[in-house]
Amino acid sequence: MKLKVASLRGCGIGLALAAACACQPRLEETVRPPSARVSPPQFDRSAPTLQELKNARYSGVGEASTFTLTDGRWEGAPFQPGAASKASVTFVRDFRLAGDLNGDGIEEAVVLLAASAGGTGETSYLAVAGRAAGQVTSIATAPVGDRVQVRDARIAGRRIVLDVVQAGRDDAACCPGDLVTRSWELAGGALREGAPVGTGRLSIDALAGAEWVLQAWAWNEAAPATPEVTLKLDANRLAGSAGCNSYFASVRPGSSPGALTVGPAGATRMMCSEAAMAVETRFLQQLGGVTQLRFVAGRMALTYTKADKTSGVMLFDRRAAR
């Protein structure tokens, strides 16, 4: 009998241990080796790249409700069968801003798109694009205006800010002259514009306070990175480096906004390499024929006419603060 009692007690202890073990999670269920742990999915929080933006799908621009750019351009069908006029949208001059516009910790990109309906006008639009489910997607668009020139652009806090040249009350459509600062905020999936602030009229003084570096001889012809050609407004005259020598030239305003005349340039007399002297000669020749100051997507554009009556546009970037 004692043996049986002992056996029963042993069984009780065994049952108690079994019950206690059943209440505890198994070791292999609570501690996984590092190799077996599941990492959370990783999201790309950066803004879309320039290449992605030039081949993205957008909506709400001009005559096209939804369209996809290919290498920065989209073209629709003719408005009339057999007609030459077509709606088109173009990505403007590698313009791109990046920043978190809605506070979600993921960057959006801001671009400029130019829409044409086949006439002389060209309406600029701001477009915001981001990433969703691994794809670049259009978030919002807003019109900037017909033939509005963008002098400078930035993201300030969560606002998109543009310094523009746009038509004033008495300006012809071809020749806008009002300097205005405009801003937009991304809210509820739309770009909402704040009150514009006028800052003056377009004149040669728009170049003051900055040094400009030549980037292109013409719309589709890049200038060499070296020797560097620079331009700044210095005491009512243009001055800088022509590639080898320092130069200066008088400048006076014309009768319409942005119109100007540049006088003959004076320069120092150093000799440099043949390539540098070729750059200098070409720049001073084109500078002497400058007749118009404009801005394109943050770049300064100087329109010139050469002695043979051919014309072109030199493009300059504002030198970044050092």
The CA distance from 77 to 69, in Å, is: 15
Give the three-class secondary structure for 161.
strand
The CA distance from 296 to 95, in Å, is: 10
pLDDT at 124: 95
Q: Which residue has the tokens 């259009």?
A: 138
Classify residue 161 as exposed, middle or buried by CB count within 10 Å of its CB (0-12, 13-18, 19+): middle
pTM for this prediction? 0.81
227: cis peptide before it, omega within 30°?
Answer: yes
The gap from C-alpha 303 to its chain's centroid, in whole angstroms, comes to 23
The structural domains of the chain, with segments of one domain joined by +, span 50-202, 205-318
Q: Are the beta carbons of 37 and 31 closer than 8 angstroms?
A: no
Q: 31 pLDDT band (50/70/90 cuts)? A: low
Two structure tokens written together for 261: 């005349």
12 vs 280, higher pLDDT: 280
* Beta-ladder partners of 111: 127
The CA distance from 202 to 165, in Å, is: 7
**Mean of per-residue pLDDT scores for the chain:** 86
The gap from C-alpha 222 to its chain's centroid, in whole angstroms, comes to 19
pLDDT at 289: 96
236 vs 282, higher pLDDT: 282
Q: Are the beta carbons of 113 and 89 closer than 8 angstroms?
A: yes
Two structure tokens written together for 42: 């990783």
Residue 258 above 90 pLDDT? Answer: yes
- Backbone φ and ψ for 106, nearest 5 degrees, come out as -120, 130
The CA distance from 268 to 204, in Å, is: 24
Name the CATH topology of 205-318.
Answer: Lipocalin (2.40.128)
174 vs 297, higher pLDDT: 297
Q: Are the beta carbons of 43 and 52 closer than 8 angstroms?
A: no
Residue 3 above 70 pLDDT? Answer: no
Residue 141 above 70 pLDDT? Answer: yes
Amino acid identity of 319?
R
The CA distance from 84 to 151, in Å, is: 32
Q: 126 pLDDT band (50/70/90 cuts)? A: very high
Q: 28 pLDDT band (50/70/90 cuts)? A: very low
